């Protein structure tokens, strides 16, 4: 519509401009010839008589009008009705007159100028506008034709551009509707490199993120079901045995069964708590503040010492202060120490160090196989050797989650003695008040709050 309106306005403007230019050119020519003829009229009239005065154009009418309103047109030029406009020029009331009159079904452009050698008289020249009107009629038809053609072409072009331009949007809409209907998170085909293509690429990134989230959710549900099945089955077996045996069961066996049930309940409680922690959409509100990481490490070591009294814990910790959640950090360090205690042999030593914000925990176990190193922090991942040992495979994944929330990192490797080394890093400062956090850590408090 905008292009069509512009074409119509240009066509109308071109027609009006040409018409005004033709009228202006005719007026200038008519007035110039009238003035030239009036200047030489007296001499020509006296020398050769009325028939000697002739206007060069065959369709013109020329004559003289006097101040009393009488007029006389030369022979061969035809008569022309004059009125007060031409009389005013002859009387000297007006310097000139230029107007359009219609006579005998023909339009004339009439010019009147005074005859200086004959006061009280004015020369009148009328020029037919037939040729000009004929030209303007043709020009109007041509302008109308091209204007309509331009509007039609603009409409067709606009429709084609809009259709072609909106085709990717329609495809994108159809793909989104198909995804919503079928829940298949297949990538959308991207064509071109325009804004719509960028939008499709953004949709694909979102779909990839949703697909990954859904896959993780499915794995979590499947792994949780697998991990829960074992303790639940064992609990059911022991409870059925207690129910069937009743009072006939020996006291020693009864105590063993009850201890087994308590241990399985404790394992199940820990597993459910870990599942709730990892499956939570939003972390629980945390008390964020300045945390003395070395003090938190001492508390975690003391707790694990009570669980593994046969092990020796060697601690070398420098002061380190971080901004974060003390309880979450303590749980992460406790999980690291529990993992080391689980793999260390009886009477073994667990070396714990804290230097420049890096907590390293070395055990004296068999170490982590190269094939298992990339997966030790994944949820429910358990190596072949750990299948027969207690645990749910969630402890180290919680460590990785806490490290990520505190803008830190965690990694697994080999200790110098051949066992496993787990390194937990969080940004902070050695002083009592943390310095300005490095890039990427400034929003730790906001992240933890979220």
CA 239 – CA 245 distance, rounded (Å)? 10
Using DSSP's 3-state secondary structure scheme, residue 141 falls into helix
Q: Which domain holds residue 380?
A: 288-449
CA 41 – CA 109 distance, rounded (Å)? 21
| Whether residue 302 is found in the same domain as residue 274 | no
> What is the pLDDT at residue 440?
47
Q: Which residues contact 168 (CB under 8 A, 6 or more apart)?
A: 191, 192, 194, 196, 197, 200
CA 256, 262, 268, 270 dihedral sign is negative
**Ramachandran angles phi, psi of 282, nearest 5°:** -125, 135
> What is the pLDDT at residue 56?
47
Around 175, how many Cα atoms within 13 Å sit in the side-chain half-sphere?
Answer: 18
Asked which of 279, 308, 325 is the last residue of a domain, the reply is 279
Tens of pLDDT, residue by residue over 55-81, are 444 567 888 888 887 777 765 567 777
| Whether residue 335 is found in the same domain as residue 271 | no
Task: Determine, yes or no, domain membership for 170.
Answer: no
Closest listed residue to residue 296, CA positions, set 438, 428, 390, 445 = 428
Find the mean pLDDT for residues 92-104: 85
Tens of pLDDT, residue by residue over 143-177, are 888 888 888 888 888 888 888 878 878 888 888 88
| Whether residue 125 is found in the same domain as residue 223 | no
| Whether residue 364 is found in the same domain as residue 417 | yes
Tens of pLDDT, residue by residue over 334-357, are 889 988 888 888 889 999 999 999
72 beta partners? 64
Task: Determine, yes or no, domain membership for 189.
Answer: no
Using DSSP's 3-state secondary structure scheme, residue 180 falls into helix
325 beta partners? 288
| Whether residue 29 is found in the same domain as residue 64 | yes
What pTM did the predictor assign?
Answer: 0.45
| Whether residue 325 is found in the same domain as residue 430 | yes
| Contact predicate 100/81, CB 8 Å | no
Asked which of 229, 253, 279 is the last residue of a domain, the reply is 279
> What is the pLDDT at residue 203?
82
DSSP per-residue codes, 211-237 = HHHHHHHHHHHHHHHHHHHHHHHHHHH
Would the pLDDT of 395 be above 80? no
The CATH number linked to 250 is 1.10.287.130
DSSP-derived letter for residue 443 is T
Find the mean pLDDT for residues 298-303: 90
Task: Determine, yes or no, domain membership for 434.
Answer: yes
Q: How many domains does the chain divide into? A: 3
Q: Which residues contact 124 (CB under 8 A, 6 or more apart)?
A: 62, 63, 64, 65, 71, 73, 80, 82, 86, 110, 111, 112
Asked which of 239, 254, 279 is the last residue of a domain, the reply is 279
| Contact predicate 445/323, CB 8 Å | yes
| Whether residue 340 is found in the same domain as residue 411 | yes
Closest listed residue to residue 322, CA positions, set 247, 419, 427 = 427
| Whether residue 234 is found in the same domain as residue 382 | no
DSSP per-residue codes, 332-345 = HHHHHHHHHHHHSP
CA 185 – CA 208 distance, rounded (Å)? 8
Closest listed residue to residue 336, CA positions, set 370, 376, 289, 283 = 376
The CATH number linked to 358 is 3.30.565.10
Of 381 and 101, more confident: 101
Task: Determine, yes or no, domain membership for 62.
Answer: yes
Angle between helix 130-182 and 195-245 (nearest 10)? 10
Task: Determine, yes or no, domain membership for 350.
Answer: yes
Using DSSP's 3-state secondary structure scheme, residue 317 falls into strand
Query: What number of residues does the chain have?
Result: 450
């Amino acid at each position: 519509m905008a292009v069509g309106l512009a074409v119509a306005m240009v066509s109308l403007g071109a027609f009006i401009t040409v018409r005004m230019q033709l009228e202006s050119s005719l007026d200038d020519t008519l007035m110039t010839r009238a003035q030239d003829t009036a200047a030489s009229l007296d001499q020509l009239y006296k020398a050769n008589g009325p028939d000697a005065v002739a206007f060069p154009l065959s369709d013109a009418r020329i004559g003289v009008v006097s101040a009393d309103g009488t007029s006389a047109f030369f022979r061969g030029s035809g008569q022309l009705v004059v009125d007060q406009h031409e009389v005013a020029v002859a009387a000297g009331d007006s310097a000139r007159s230029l107007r359009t009159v219609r006579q005998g079904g023909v339009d004339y452009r009439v010019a009147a100028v005074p005859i200086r050698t004959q006061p009280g008289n004015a020369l009148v020249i009328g020029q037919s506008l037939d040729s000009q009107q004929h030209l303007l009629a043709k020009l109007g038809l041509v302008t109308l034709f091209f204007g309509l053609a331009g509007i039609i072409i603009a409409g067709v072009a606009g429709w084609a551009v809009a259709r072609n331009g909106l085709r990717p949007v329609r495809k994108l809409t159809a793909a989104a509707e198909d995804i919503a209907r079928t829940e298949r998170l297949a990538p959308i085909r991207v064509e071109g490199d325009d804004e719509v293509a960028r939008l499709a690429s953004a949709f694909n990134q979102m779909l990839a993120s949703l697909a990954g989230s859904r896959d993780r959710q499915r794995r979590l549900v499947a792994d949780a079901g697998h991990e829960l099945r074992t303790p639940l089955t064992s609990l059911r077996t022991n409870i059925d045995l207690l129910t069937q045996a009743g009072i006939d069961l020996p006291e020693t066996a009864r105590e063993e069964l009850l201890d087994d049930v308590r241990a399985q309940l404790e394992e199940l409680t820990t597993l459910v708590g870990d599942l709730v922690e990892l499956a939570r959409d939003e972390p629980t509100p945390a008390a964020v503040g300045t945390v003395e990481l070395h003090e938190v490490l001492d508390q975690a070591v003391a707790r694990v010492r009570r669980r593994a009294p046969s092990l020796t814990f060697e601690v070398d910790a420098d002061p380190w202060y971080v901004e974060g959640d003390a309880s979450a950090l303590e749980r992460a360090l406790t999980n690291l120490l529990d993992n080391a205690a689980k793999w260390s042999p009886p009477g073994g030593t667990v070396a714990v160090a804290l230097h420049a914000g890096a907590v390293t925990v070395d055990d004296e176990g068999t170490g982590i196989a190269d094939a298992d190193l990339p997966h030790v922090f994944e949820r429910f991942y358990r190596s072949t050797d750990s299948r027969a040992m207690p645990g749910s495979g969630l402890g180290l994944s919680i460590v990785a989650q806490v490290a990520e929330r505190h803008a830190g990192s965690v990694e697994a490797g080999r200790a110098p003695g051949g066992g496993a080394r787990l390194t937990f890093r969080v940004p902070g400062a050695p002083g009592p008040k943390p310095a300005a956090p490095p890039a990427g850590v400034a929003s730790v408090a906001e992240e933890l709050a979220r």
